[in-house]
Chains A and B, each alone.
Chain A
Amino acid sequence: MEFFHKPTSFPFMATRKVWYGLSIILMITSIVSLATRGLNLAIDFTGGVTVEATFPQAANTDLVRAHLAAAGFRDAQVQNFGSARDIMIRLPPETQQNGSEIRAKVDAALKSVDPGADIRSLDVVGPQVGGEVERSAGWALTFTLGLIFLYIAFRFHTWRLSLGAIVAVIHDPVLVLGIFSIDRTSFDLAVVAAVLAVVGYSLNDTVVVFDRIRERFHVNRRLAPAAVLDQSINQTLSRTIMTKVVTAIVVVALLVLGGPVLRGFSEALLIGIIAGTYSSIYISSAIALDCGLTAEHIFPTVKKTAVDHMP
């Protein structure tokens, strides 16, 4: 079976303004959503307590909330988690965080709703830890982007391709954050890890295209850059789409079967992969072109300094 019998010839470069426009709209929407709705940060970032519990029958979250309030936990967030019988309780950070005391009280409150209730896990994060985690996540992202920029500049001899790659890639995490802001999925450390992994992984496509560009320029330095970029993308399109399809199969399996703990993680992976493919194809080369990329930049000519080697 083969979907791509003939090489395609989509005019990517010629239509790049359209794609810029689309990207800008998506980015603005994400940023606006982040600014207004914000993210549903998990306790990894805010500090606090998370309790996972299971009931023998479907749990009534309002009833649970009422019992918790009676036990002294007034700002408890209670929601279903995976199935109707499982609930997740979230308590804000307090001054005296004694995990075992909290557990005992929550256990008592839950058992007063249904004696068969069972606490499956309890997670306490002090608020000072949460703040630091935010900073490390920021560092991790900056560091990764910086290293990647340097690596591509080194391998392809020009900063123009690096810039294209980085700009394309920056827009992926922003999009992921935007979607998390819109659908209020819980944003925890695993999501940050997924975003970082996706940043690295979606650059695969970009590098594959760049490699093809380098090959074409090597063959013929005098080709027009726009044409070379177009052809390179088209020629690698089959491979790009096929890989993404296969990876998507795997990530969808994770999303559907992986359970609620990995929900945020799998969602971030899926969105990131789709966004990453889009940006690799439509954005990275376009930006390199608009920075004035030519064959010269990838393969600088060596100037002859003397007429001949004789004294």
Chain B
Amino acid sequence: MLEYARWKYVLIAVVLALALLFALPTVFGEDPAIQMARRDHNPVTAATEQSVEQTLTGQGVHFSKTYLDDGRLMIRFPSVAEQLKGRDAVTNKFTDQYLIALSFAPRVPAALRVLGLKPMPLGLDLRGGLYLLYQVDVQSAVRQLLDGYNQDIRRALTAANLPFTDVTLIATNGSTEQNGVRVTLPPSANLDQVRDLVAKTVPDFQLSVVSLPSGRAVEGVLPPAKIREREDYAIEQNLTTLRNRVNELGVAEPIVQRQGLDRINVQLPGVQNSAEVKDILGKVATLEFRLVDVNGNAYEAAQTGHAPVGTKLYYLKDTGQPILLKRSIIATGDELTTANFTTTQEGPTVNVRLDARAGERMLETTRDNINRPMAVVYIEKRPETKIVDGKKVTRFVTDEKVISDATIRGVFSNSFEITGMNAGDARDLALLLRSGSLAVPLYPVEEQVVGPSLGKDNIDKGVDALVIGMAGVFIFMAVYYRLFGLVADTVLLANVVLLTALLAMFHSALSLPGIAGIILTVGVAVDANVLIYERIREELRNGVSPQAAIRAGFEKAFSAIADSNVTTLIAGVVLWVLGTGPIRGFAVVLTLGIATSMFTSLMGSRALVTLLYGGRRKVARLLI
């Protein structure tokens, strides 16, 4: 007698129903679209929507629909070509006030959307977009910390009246990068006192006393754990900043992730212009507010190269004129709470608000210095790569320019305006100040731009291969295994649906290798069925009765299926862990595919076959 537990039938039915539901949104596909958001973060108005529609029709661009979604304006297009035409048409007129991004709008009907079901996201190679891999200069983070310690130790030693020759940064304990500080001492120094003071100033250091040819010294080294901690902090800080900046770009579904120990992976679907984006993302720029020194002669200082005591020489950004500023800093960009870009009568303006402490300092300064000029210094760090001793070295070059030296006309504390930049710079500055500063600089080591037409092409090719491949398998199985072949075909179809549902649920992005993975999974899934059927045929050949043959086939094939799938699973998991990007997409599909194929082949086939041949009836022949 051939039986299958009733609850198992129910389980399979429930799982399949759920899978169908989750997989359904993906089937509907997406439309190429454009997304527009106001740069000042207010919601887009209906009037703007109409204006955009008119612009598009005026230029002969066909669009399917425009609608407002969550404060943004979405425009759907029938094809990628129209989408690009639409972008060009809209950019000319609206780019000053609006962020315009290429996007995609799923065609999921409202009924499913309401349930919160979303289609499977597509990777960059299927959608088009920009991929950037940033290298974070973590060594700078450590150096910054050590520099701070250097200053602290000097101050402490001076305050305690302990003589020292010098305090320098060192690289020691087999490390090629700087990881410690050395205090070299004159022969008269009291080693113990110095050592104790250093220990109190920097508790994290591991201290030792060394004898050098130049004398004795106290060395403090940061343990690897502390170094790692500092590096992690720098990367987390940068991640947050990058995420803020990416959000400001208005891109739909961006991804910003840490990759490995010291890299950050940024994926921006729909973005084609990498220059603009890299500029914003990688910029290390901030402001300083200082008083102008009216007593000194700036031109003389520029000629001789010496600035008078208490001042520093700068140059104006617009005219290149030299100007002397006082050394003490009133406020820095880090002390800003918000920054907004607007256009006023004076031109492009950045409205800033300082935090409480900086606000107080500003209040004092403006009160004491009415009718005297104050300058705003714009500081930018850019990466420059040179060849030094045959090796590529990327150094950061700091650029400091005075962007405004307006006279203080009234007393203000924490809220005021900065003018004197062009619109583009002002807008970027507001964005940078708002999103926070980068803890340490970063620069791109890998970059990829995929155009949207290529993305669409890739999807078409992948889906074609999948459909034709599956059709081939279906026909073959039906011919070779007859009725049981049709069972296998049904089970295979269920497998693909289940896999799609899982991928949609995991929100894992599908890549072109991922589609190839689905195709490979079809092969893996069939393997299990073939094992079972060949075993059944063998049992029949040995003279076993039909129903007993079915039972024996399933039982004996089980261990072989389980064991053999594990090896492919091992390969899939290793690739998942070590892979990135599209390769990881493939690994995810492969691994999940093996799991689903085991479920569908073992349970699904058994259920169907038992339905066909089970129960107490006498079965004469098997259509296998």
Within the complex, what minimum Cβ distance (angstroms) separates A298 from chain B? 13
Within the complex, what minimum Cβ distance (angstroms) separates A302 from chain B? 22
Give the residues in chain B near A246, CB-CB below 8 Å: 473, 476-477, 523, 526-527, 530
Give the residues in chain A near B526, CB-CB below 8 Å: 243, 246-247
A120 touching B527 in the complex, CB below 8 Å, given contacts A249-B476, A253-B472: no
B112 at the interface (CB under 8 A from A): no
Within the complex, what minimum Cβ distance (angstroms) separates A194 from chain B? 8
**Chain B contact residues: over half helix, strand or loop, or mixed?**
helix
A262-B516 in contact (CB<8A): yes
B568 at the interface (CB under 8 A from A): yes
A243 touching B567 in the complex, CB below 8 Å, given contacts A52-B454, A129-B133, A259-B457: no
Give the residues in chain B near A126, CB-CB below 8 Å: 135, 444-446
B385 at the interface (CB under 8 A from A): yes
B451-A121 in contact (CB<8A): yes
User: Which residue of chain A has the shortest Cβ distance to B542 in the bound complex?
Assistant: A7
B570-A120 in contact (CB<8A): no
A148-B570 in contact (CB<8A): yes
Give the residues in chain A near B477, CB-CB below 8 Å: 246
A100 touching B569 in the complex, CB below 8 Å, given contacts A249-B476, A262-B513: no
Give the residues in chain A near B21, CB-CB below 8 Å: none
Contact check: which of A120, A129, A155, A235 meets B446 at CB < 8 Å?
A: A129
Contact check: which of B135, B520, B578 meets A250 at CB < 8 Å?
A: B520
Stretch at the interface among B23-31, B433-441, B580-588: B580-588
B111 at the interface (CB under 8 A from A): no
A151-B468 in contact (CB<8A): no
A254-B564 in contact (CB<8A): no
Give the residues in chain B near A1, CB-CB below 8 Å: 479-480
A46 at the interface (CB under 8 A from B): no
B169 at the interface (CB under 8 A from A): no
B274 at the interface (CB under 8 A from A): yes
A123 at the interface (CB under 8 A from B): yes
CA separation between A245 and B527, bound complex, in Å?
10
A151 touching B530 in the complex, CB below 8 Å, given contacts A120-B453, A250-B473: no
User: Which residue of chain B has the shortest Cβ distance to A260 in the bound complex?
Assistant: B461
Interface Cβ pair total, 8 Å cutoff: 221
A36 at the interface (CB under 8 A from B): no
CA separation between A170 and B133, bound complex, in Å?
33
B43 at the interface (CB under 8 A from A): no
Q: Among residues 236 to 265 in chain A, which have CB atoms less than 8 Å away from a CB atom of chain B?
A: 236, 238-239, 242-243, 245-247, 249-251, 253-254, 256-259, 261-262, 265
CA separation between A245 and B480, bound complex, in Å?
12
B560-A207 in contact (CB<8A): yes
CA separation between A95 and B575, bound complex, in Å?
31
Contact check: which of A52, A119, A151, A243 meets B527 at CB < 8 Å?
A: A243
Q: What 1/0 flags go to A181-225 for Cβ under 8 Å of B?
A: 000000001101100110111011101101110010000000000
User: Which residue of chain A has the shortest Cβ distance to B523 in the bound complex?
Assistant: A247
A-B contact list, 30 entries, CB within 8 Å:
A2-B480, A95-B392, A123-B448, A123-B449, A124-B446, A124-B448, A125-B446, A140-B578, A143-B574, A144-B571, A148-B570, A190-B582, A197-B517, A200-B571, A204-B564, A207-B564, A211-B560, A211-B564, A239-B534, A242-B534, A246-B523, A247-B520, A250-B470, A250-B519, A250-B522, A254-B465, A257-B461, A261-B512, A262-B462, A262-B513
Chain B residues near A (Cβ < 8 Å): 125, 133, 135, 273-275, 278, 385-387, 392, 444-451, 453-454, 457-458, 461-462, 464-466, 468-470, 472-473, 476-477, 479-480, 512-513, 516-517, 519-520, 522-524, 526-527, 530-531, 534-535, 537-538, 541, 556, 559-560, 563-572, 574-575, 578-579, 582-583, 586-587, 590
